[in-house]
Amino acid sequence: MILAEAKRVIRVEADALLNLEASINGEFERAIEMILGASGRVVVTGMGKSGLIGQKIASTMASTGTPAFFLHPAEGIHGDLGMIMRGDVVIAVSNSGETDEVVRILPIIKRLGASLIAMAGNPNSTLAKSGDVFLDISVKEEACPLGLAPTASTTVTLAMGDALAVALLVSRGFKAEDFAMFHPGGTLGRRLLLKVEDIMHAGEALPLVSSETLMREALFTITSKGLGITGVTGTDGALIGVITDGDLRRALGQGLDIINLPASALMKGKPKRIRRDELAARALQQMEQYSITSLFVFDDNTSVAPVGIVHLHDLLKAGIA
C-alpha cells in the first residue's frame, strides 16, 4: 500500500513534467529574450509554496549568471516594492493566478516600469492576463490524493524555473569557471578555481638531485623535503627521473648496497608531469590514473626543468580530494 502510493505520486509528477515539456512554446522564448534584453535584474515573487519554489528559482538564476533575487509579495505591499526598479523583469508565480498578495502588487509593478512574466496554472487568471509573457504551469492533477497540497504543481513550477535558468545560462555562454566565481567557498568552487601553482612546493622546497648525486645525499633530500620523493635532473637541469621512498624500500629489500650508488642507478625514467596553470583537480585526476602521489610541475608543455611539485596531501589539505 505504502510503496504503491509512493510510486503513484512519482508517476503523477513525472506525467506532469512530460506535459510541461509539450507546453514549452514561443512564450518561453519571449521570456528568455525579455530577460536577456533587460537592463535590470530578475525579481521573483510568490506566496506560500510558490514562494518557496520562487526562492529556489531566484537562487539558481543568481548562481548561473542572471542577477536575481526573491521578493516576498506580502512584504512588498508594506514597502519592499521599492526594491524593484525600472528595467527589472518580475517573475510572478501563482498556481491559481489569483493569490491576493501577488495580484495586489501587479499594478505597481507596471507603474514602476518593470516587465512581468506571469507563471500560473490558469491561463484565464488575473496574473496570466496581466503578464507581458505567460508561462503555463498547469497540471491535470496534484499528486496529493485530496487534491489540496501543492505537489505536482510545485514540481512543474520548479522545472519551469530550472528551464529558464539553464536556457539563460546557455544563451549567455556561462562557463564552469564563471559558476565557480559565485561558489568560491564550496568544494565545487575549489575544484574549478584552484590551480596547481596555487598549492605546489617551489624554490627551496623542491626536491631535486642531479643524476650523479650519490644516494646517501639523495636519501637526505627525500627525507628533509618531507614529500617522499626526489626528482633527478640531467646536466642541463632537465627532469629525467624520480626516486621515491618506495623505490628505496624495494632496493633495500633486495639487499642492495645503495648508499654509494648514483641517483641515476635507482631512478625511474619518464616521470609524470603537469603544467602550473592546470586545475588542481586535474592533478588529482592524473594521480588517480597512474596510482602515484606526486607530480612535478612545469611552466608549459615544452619546459624541461621543473618549477615545482604537488603532492596528494596538498590536494587533501586544499579540499580537492
Q: What is the pLDDT of residues 97-110, one digit of tens each?
A: 999 999 999 999 99
pLDDT in tens, 212-238: 989 888 888 888 888 989 999 998 889
Q: Are 121 and 137 in contact (CB under 8 A)?
A: yes
pLDDT at 182: 63
Mean pLDDT for 135-139 is 96
- The contacts found for 14-18 with CB under 8 angstroms, 24 or more apart, are 15/140, 16/139, 16/140, 16/141, 16/152, 16/153, 16/155, 16/156, 17/155, 17/156, 17/159
What DSSP line would sit under 36-105, residue for residue? Answer: HH-SS-EEEEE-HHHHHHHHHHHHHHHTTT--EEEE-HHHHTTTGGGG--TT-EEEEEESSS--HHHHHH
Largest CA distance in the chain: 91
User: Which domains can be identified in the chain, with CATH numbers?
Assistant: 2-174 (3.40.50.10490), 196-317 (3.10.580.10)
Q: Which of 49, 106, 47 is nearest to 74 (CA)?
A: 47
Q: Is the pLDDT of residue 186 over 80?
A: no
Residue 257 is classified by DSSP as -
Confidence of residue 86 (pLDDT cuts 50, 70, 90): very high
Element holding 109 (H helix, E strand):
helix 100-111
Q: Is the pLDDT of residue 191 over 70?
A: no
pLDDT at 250: 85
* Cβ within 8 Å of residue 237, ≥6 positions away: 304, 305
Q: Is the pLDDT of residue 146 over 90?
A: no
Give the chain's mean pLDDT: 90
> What does the alpha-carbon distance between residue 78 and residue 60 come to, in Å, rounded to a whole number?
26
> What does the alpha-carbon distance between residue 242 and residue 266 come to, in Å, rounded to a whole number?
9
pLDDT in tens, 248-306: 888 777 777 778 888 888 888 888 999 999 888 888 889 999 998 899 999 988 888 99
- Measured at the CA of 171, the angle between CA 166 and CA 173, to 5 degrees, comes to 95
